[in-house]
Amino acid sequence: MVTGAVAPGSLYLVATPIGHLGDLSPRAAEILGGVDVVLAEDTRHTRPLLTHLGLATPLEAVHAHNERETAARLVARLVAGASAALVSDAGTPLVSDPGAVLVAAAIEAGVPVVPVPGPSAVLAALTGSGLPAVPFTFFGFLPRKGPERRERLADLGALRHTAVVYESPQRLGETLADLSSAGLGGRRAAVARELTKKFEEFRRGTVDDLAAYYAGTPPRGEVVLVLEGGAPPAPADAATIAAAVADLRRAGRDSRTIQSELMDRFGLSRNAAYRAAHAEEG
Ligand code: SAM
């Protein structure tokens, strides 16, 4: 199917279903049928999708292990006028999936990069979770172990707004238990499982509830964890803030440092922290 929808020399980033085939947009199908080549994370995975759409577009593999070597060659083809669509196994390419190296190389070479938006587990889980959707931070997959994991868990704990985390079913119980141990057991959370599929499920509760539920029983299928942000610190009275400013000044902190410390410690706005940090000056 060759249509007028595809511009020569462009790289399309095409979102594909995360389960339900009906979620593939008509525009996505048109682009997948109209480009010269579909660049797939796993061609064995994408071939059935193209076949389902009645398309025979040539496929090439672009995955985490070959993206660096193939990017320059693919960009040269794009510069010469070929069009390509990048897809991942499911959802939106680049979202915890390969593609960033190719996109950066394409932009560098002046190749138009055209997103064709559609399914992604991060937004489906966030919007169905019942937790505030704006702002939110997407963490992708957490590091599995070591100081990186501890740091990321600390980042999650410090966050004052909703977080979305991709997790494997085998590791979900451990992650919930780690969040509990980090003092976040009382936060509301949701586990979104098998989104858009037959056994789609949202399980909502506190982190402690969910940790107890999933302890020793990994969920079946794919999951996303959505976590409520921490409550802002209790408002402090003027005397407490003034005492903190005096302490920090005695410790040799400059006004700028004191301002940011007051914002962190007492949840003051930038202006209020500025006024407090400068109040005792002179
Ligand atoms: N690029 C994809 C996207 O846009 O959502 C994500 C790819 S990432 C390698 C795979 C992870 O996404 C899974 O481990 C799971 O956390 C989440 N995921 C993908 N499909 C899902 C689904 N149908 N239900 C729940 N989570 C899903």
**CATH code of residue 110:** 3.40.1010.10
CB 142 within 8 Å of CB 148: no
Q: Among residues 73, 104, 119, which one ends one of the domains?
A: 119
Query: Do 131 and 202 sit in the same domain of this protein?
Result: yes
Residue 2 domain-assigned (yes or no): no
Residue 23 domain-assigned (yes or no): yes
Residue 1 domain-assigned (yes or no): no
Which residue from 13, 14, 16, 18 has its CB within 8 A of the most atoms of ligand 1, so it is best to mutate?
18
Q: Which residues is 189 bridged to in the sheet?
A: 205, 227
- CA 153 – CA 184 distance, rounded (Å): 10
Task: Write out pLDDT tens, residues 112-133.
Answer: 999 999 999 999 999 999 999 9
Average pLDDT, integer, range 156-160: 94
For 145, 157, 182, 208, 265, the CA distances from 154, given in Å and listed in that order, are 13, 5, 8, 17, 16
196 lines ligand 1 (CB under 6 A): yes
Query: Do 214 and 171 sit in the same domain of this protein?
Result: yes
pLDDT at position 4 is 65
Task: Write out pLDDT tens, residues 242-282.
Answer: 999 999 999 999 999 999 999 888 888 999 999 999 985 65
121 alpha carbon – ligand 1 mean position (Å): 5
Q: Among residues 85, 119, 153, which one ends one of the domains?
A: 119
Sheet holding 11-14, edge to edge: 59-61, 37-40, 84-87, 11-14, 113-116
Residue found under tokens 């409550």: 231
Average pLDDT, integer, range 166-192: 96
Sheet holding 201-206, edge to edge: 136-141, 162-167, 223-227, 188-193, 201-206
DSSP, res 92: S
220 alpha carbon – ligand 1 mean position (Å): 13
Residue found under tokens 């069009």: 83
Tokens of 13: 């980033």
33 lines ligand 1 (CB under 6 A): no
- The 3-state DSSP class for residue 217 equals coil
pTM: 0.86
- CA 113 – CA 110 distance, rounded (Å): 9
Domain that holds residue 199: 122-227
What confidence category does residue 178 fall into, taking pLDDT thresholds of 50, 70 and 90? very high
Q: Domain count for the chain, please give it.
A: 3
Query: Do 84 and 134 sit in the same domain of this protein?
Result: no
194 lines ligand 1 (CB under 6 A): yes
The CATH code of the domain that includes 127 is: 3.30.950.10
Q: Among residues 119, 144, 172, which one ends one of the domains?
A: 119
125 alpha carbon – ligand 1 mean position (Å): 10
226 lines ligand 1 (CB under 6 A): no
90 alpha carbon – ligand 1 mean position (Å): 7
Average pLDDT, integer, range 174-191: 96
Query: Do 258 and 217 sit in the same domain of this protein?
Result: no
Task: Write out pLDDT tens, residues 64-114.
Answer: 999 999 999 999 999 999 999 999 999 999 999 999 999 999 999 999 999
